[in-house]
Amino acid sequence: MAKLPNRFSAEQAVQVLEFVEALPDNIRSIVVHCEGGFSRSCALVKALNALYGYSVDFEQLKEANPSVERALLAVAKQRAVKGGKGAGGAGKRGKNAEKR
């Protein structure tokens, strides 16, 4: 499988963060998916766990793409430094995230 250029951009990271932060408090679980369903979705789930304390099954996340995970975490950190949202905080949501 050929590598995709710009497989996960800063703009996409912002979209993910804004989506999660806008979820109503009564949302208990989210499902994360991507076209292939292996590396990008796993990476997003791992990052959501680090940022918001979502419960995850790490056994299912072995194929996580580390560059996608780092990109999302970096954008979250930049937003926090600028005074915006995005750094979350462990346990902020404390809900379940699944990779599908």
pLDDT in tens, 13-64: 999 999 999 999 898 888 888 777 678 999 999 999 999 988 899 999 999 9
**Beta-bridge partners for 99:** 32
Report which of 68, 67, 66, 85 is spatially closest to residue 77, judged by C-alpha positions: 85
Residue 66 has pLDDT above 70, yes or no: yes
The count of other CB atoms within 10 Å of the CB of residue 50 is: 16
Give the containing element (helix H, strand E) for 80: helix 66-81
